[in-house]
Structure 1
Amino acid sequence: AAMITLLWLLLLQVICSAAAAAADDPRLLQVQIIIRHADRAPMYEFTSLESAALFPRGLGELTNDGIRRATQQGSAFRQHYNELGLLSGKTTEAEIFIRSSPIKRVLMSATAFATSFIGKGIGRVHVPPIHTTESEDDERVLIVHDSVDHRCKVLARHNISDQPLCRAALLRTAIIKEYPDCASFNYTQIEASVAQAENPNVTLDAALEKCARGDARKIQFRSLSIRPGVAREFDASRAGDVIGPLMSIVSRNVDDAVKGDTIEGMRTGAPIRVYYTHDHNILAVAQALGIISEFGERNPEFSSAIAVETWSSSEGFDIKIVMKDGLKNPFKPVAKFRFLDFKNRISSYTDLDPTKIQWDDQAKNVYTFQQFGKNTGKPSTTVGPVIPRIRPATETELLEPRKSHTYEILLVASMLFVVVGVLLKRRNTYTRMY
C-alpha cells in the first residue's frame, strides 16, 4: 500500500513538472544536415609518385581516413541530437532520410556517416537507404553544374577577356598571385597539397607545405566562389539558380515540421534529413543563410556541415542555424530566425517554379551497403534489422519469489504516460508562427 501511495504522489509531481515544461521548454522538431563529403584524394594531380601510392583508389576518390572520419562525424551528430532529445533510443529508418550526390566519394561518405548515426546491431551494420539520382548529369540539387555564360560574366567583371572559352583558370592564376607564399605554384598543385596534407604519411616540398598550411585554403575559397556566384563573386541570379532547388526543399521540410506541430494528425516526413554534397554547395547554402562570413574566407573542411533546426515553443517557431566545420571543430550556433523571418531570408532563392524542382521523392536510386563494400574493396557486411541485446536473468533473479504489485504499477505508469502526453501535445495555434 505504501508503494502505491508513493507512486500516486510521484504521478502528481510529474504532472506538475510536465505542465511547466510544456509551457516553457522549446522542443526540437526537425534537423536538416547539409554536409560536404569526407576526405578525398587530390582532384587533378599528385605532387609525387610516393604521394600517389598513398591514395590507391585514385584521384578524387574517398580515402580510408575519409571513411573513418565520416563515421566519427556521424557519431558526433548522433550524440549531439540525442542530447537535444530528437532521437529515440534506437533510431529507425522512419526517423532519418538521406539524400546524396551521385558521385561515388559522396555516396561512400553518406554511407559511412549513416552507419554510426543510426547505430549498429550485433554482428551487423544497419544502414538506411542512401537516396540519389541516376548520374551526375541527372542531379539538379546537390551538384553545382558549370556555366560558360556565368564564367564569361565573372571574367568580364575582372577585365579578363577569353572568349569564347572563358576559362576560370585565368582568374585563379590572378588570385594566386595575391598570395606570395603560394605564387610559385599553379592551382592544381595547391589543391593537391591541401588534400594530401590531411594524410600524415605524405611528405610535401617545404615551400608547398608552407602554402598548404597557410594561404592555400583562402585561394580555394575564392576559386570555389566563382562557380556558384557567392562571396566576392556574388551574383544573385546565379546563386539563386544554383542553390534555389535545395533551399526550396529545405523550406518545404521546415513547413512540414511546423504543420505537424500545429495540425492534429498531420503526417510529416522524417525529423532527421541529411543532404550529402560538395564544397560549392556548402558555400552556396551559407550565402543563402547569410552566414558565409563564418568560414573566414577559407574553404570548408572535409565533412563540413550546416544544420537547419526547427524548434517549437509556447512563443512560436524558431529556425536555428548550426555549423560544424569538419570533424575537429565543435557545433557552433551561428544564426537564429523566427519562422517568417527565415522564410523571408531565403525567399529570393526559393521563388522557383515548383514543377522544375527535383524534389526528394524524385531521387529514386538507392546506394546500398553492398555497393559500399565493393567500392571500399572489402567484402560487404550483411545488412539486416538491428538485433537488441537481451540481458539474461541471473540465477538469483530466477529463484527469487515475485513480490511486486505488478498490476497497480502498470496502471499508474500508463496513466502517467497518458497525462504527460496530453500536456505536452501542442494545440493548433497558428499565431505561434510569428
Structure 2
Amino acid sequence: MKIFIIFILQINAILSKELLLAQTLFRHGSRAPNKVYPNDIYNLTIWPVPLGQLLPLGMEQSFRQGVKLNERYIHQYKLINSTYNVNEITVRSTDMDRTLTSAYYNLIGFYINHTNENLFLKSLGLQNFNPIPVHTVPFNEDYLLNVYASCYRKEHEFKKQLERKEFKQYLSSKEHIIKKIEKFSGLQIKNDKDIRDFFDILFVQNYNNYSLPSWITKGLYDDIRNMSQTIWDYTSGDALLGVEENVELIKYSAGYLLNHIIKNMVRSINEYDNNISDRKKYYVFSAHDSTLSAFLRTLGVKQKLLGTRQPEYSAVLSIELWKDDKDYFIKLFYSDNVEKPFRDITNFISDCSEVDDICKLNKFIRRSEKYMINVNEKNGENLVNNFKKICQL
C-alpha cells in the first residue's frame, strides 16, 4: 500500500509540471575549413564547397538534430504544433551562410513528416514543407550572437588577459611547438588567433578523414589541440593558468544573449498568466561554437561540461522554462552531437542547485545578474547604438 501511495504521488508531481517555453542555441553543422596555410598538402579542390561553407554532412547533422528536437517538443511534450504556427516560434541566426543553412535544415527536421524510412534523403523533396522565416542582422552589428562584435570594454579586458604574466609564461612554455608549426607550415604565428586558426584547419581535415601531413604526429596534434583550446578558453575569460575568471570579458561576450533569453522567459510567463493563446513557445538561435561556449560561461557550465573542448558540430543547448503548482523553474539540456541524446545538465549551473535537478527562475536571475547586459531601444536610438554606448569605458 505504501509503495502504491508513493507511486501515485510521483505521478501527480509529474502531471503538475508544465513546460511553457523552450529556447535552443546550437552550433552549425560540419563545414569546410575557413582558411588554408602556405604548405598545406591539400588544395581547395578537395572540398565540395567554398571555404567556411556548410558541408553536405553538416546539412544532415543539422537536419538530424532538428528531428531530435521534434521528438522532444512536438511529440514528447507537445509544446509546439506539428504544423508551423508563426505565433509559436522565432528563429534567429548570425549572418553567415553556414549558420543560416544549418537553421533551415534544422527546421526541416523539426517540422517535416517523419514516417519515412530514410528521413534525410526523402525529406530533400520538401513535400508538404512550409518554409520557416529565419531572421538575422549584419554580422558586425550582431551583438546577440556574434561574440566578436566590436566592444571596447571587451577588447580592453581581452588585452589585459594577453598581458598577464601567467599567459606569457604559458606561451613561453609552448614556444617549441610554435616554432615547429612555423617551420613546417610556412605560417608566421603572430598571435593567439593564428594558433587557433591553424588547429582548426587540421581538425577539419582530420574530421573529414583526410590524412594529416607526416610531420603532424599524433603527439604533436594533441599538443596543438590542447594549446589552442587552452588559449581560446583563457582569452575568453575562463579561470585557467592560475588566473581567476574574468567576469567582465564573459559579460561583454554573451551577457546580452543571457539577458535576452531571460527576458523571453519573463515575457512567456506574462503571456501565460494572461491566457494569451498564441503566445511564443519556441526560440531558436543558430550560431557558432564561440557563441555556445560564451553563453555556457555565463551559466558557469562551460568547464564542467566540456573542459577546454569546444562544442561539437550541431551541438544543441536547450533552456527550458517550466511551471509547477508552486513556482517557475528552468531546466538545461545538452546534446553533444547527432549521436548523443539530450542529457540534463541543470545541476551544472553555478549557484543555482536545487533538489530534483531544477533551478528556480528567481534564483537563476539573481545568480545571472553579474553576467547580464541590459540593452533596450530608447530615446529613438537603436540597439546597436545603445550597445556601443554600454561598451565604452
Aligned 8 A contact 1:144 1:228 in 2: no
Aligned-pair identity (%): 21
Aligned 8 A contact 1:34 1:282 in 2: yes
2:32 corresponds in structure 1 to 41
**Post-superposition offset of 1:254:** 0.9
CA deviation profile, 1:368-398 (whole Å, cap 9, x unmatched): xxxxxxxxxxxxxxxxxxxxxxxxxxxxxxx
Aligned 8 A contact 1:306 1:322 in 2: yes
What are the equivalent positions in structure 2 for 1:344-423 lying under 5 Å apart? 344-355=366-377
1:140 corresponds in structure 2 to 143
1:157 corresponds in structure 2 to 164
Aligned 8 A contact 1:39 1:65 in 2: yes
Aligned 8 A contact 1:247 1:285 in 2: yes
2:206 maps to a residue whose letter is A
**Post-superposition offset of 1:218:** 3.6
1:260 corresponds in structure 2 to 271
Aligned 8 A contact 1:91 1:119 in 2: no
* Aligned-partner SS, 2:181: coil
Task: Specify every segment of 5 or more residues in structure 2 that has no aligned partner in the other structure, as ranges.
Answer: 1-7, 114-122, 183-194, 347-357, 385-393
Residues 218 and 23 of structure 1, relative CA distance in 2, 3 Å threshold: closer
CA deviation profile, 1:122-178 (whole Å, cap 9, x unmatched): 735422100001x22221111012664333211111367xxxxxxxxx899557559
2:325 is the counterpart of 1:332: no
* Aligned-partner SS, 2:262: helix
Q: Distance in 1 between matches of 2:33 and 2:14?
A: 52
Q: Distance in 1 between matches of 2:58 and 2:15?
A: 42
**295, 315, 319: which one aligns with 2:330:** 319
2:259 maps to a residue whose letter is S
Aligned 8 A contact 1:24 1:314 in 2: no
1:203 corresponds in structure 2 to 211
**244, 251, 274: which one aligns with 2:284:** 274
Residues 99 and 198 of structure 1, relative CA distance in 2, 3 Å threshold: same
Structure 1 window deviating more from structure 2 (28-37 vs 189-198): it is 189-198
**Post-superposition offset of 1:31:** 0.6
2:230 is the counterpart of 1:222: yes
2:45 is the counterpart of 1:90: no
**80, 94, 109: which one aligns with 2:72:** 80
1:193 corresponds in structure 2 to 202
**Post-superposition offset of 1:75:** 1.0
* Aligned-partner SS, 2:367: helix
Q: Distance in 1 between matches of 2:175 and 2:298?
A: 29
* Aligned-partner SS, 2:227: helix
2:111 is the counterpart of 1:118: yes
Q: Distance in 2 between matches of 1:96 and 1:317?
A: 21
1:430 corresponds in structure 2 to none
Q: Distance in 2 between matches of 1:83 and 1:75?
A: 12
* Aligned-partner SS, 2:274: coil
2:60 is the counterpart of 1:68: yes
Residues 141 and 353 of structure 1, relative CA distance in 2, 3 Å threshold: closer
Aligned 8 A contact 2:377 2:383 in 1: no
**288, 294, 297: which one aligns with 2:298:** 288
**Post-superposition offset of 1:246:** 0.6
TM-score by length of 1: 0.67
1:404 corresponds in structure 2 to none
Residues 109 and 53 of structure 1, relative CA distance in 2, 3 Å threshold: same
CA deviation profile, 1:40-61 (whole Å, cap 9, x unmatched): 1222216745463232322222
1:394 corresponds in structure 2 to none
Residues 197 and 345 of structure 1, relative CA distance in 2, 3 Å threshold: same
Return the index of the structure with the highest Cα Rg.
Answer: 1
Aligned 8 A contact 2:94 2:286 in 1: yes
Task: Specify every segment of 5 or more residues in structure 1 that has no aligned partner in the other structure, as ranges.
Answer: 1-16, 161-169, 361-434
2:55 maps to a residue whose letter is T
**What is the count of residue pairs matched by the alignment?**
329
* Aligned-partner SS, 1:329: coil
Q: Distance in 1 between matches of 2:41 and 2:286?
A: 31
1:342 corresponds in structure 2 to 364
1:92 maps to a residue whose letter is N
Aligned 8 A contact 2:26 2:292 in 1: yes
Residues 114 and 209 of structure 1, relative CA distance in 2, 3 Å threshold: farther
Aligned 8 A contact 1:51 1:203 in 2: no
Residues 325 and 231 of structure 1, relative CA distance in 2, 3 Å threshold: farther
* Aligned-partner SS, 2:332: strand
Residues 26 and 225 of structure 1, relative CA distance in 2, 3 Å threshold: same
2:116 corresponds in structure 1 to none
Aligned 8 A contact 2:82 2:111 in 1: no
Q: Distance in 1 between matches of 2:284 and 2:51?
A: 26
Residues 94 and 268 of structure 1, relative CA distance in 2, 3 Å threshold: closer
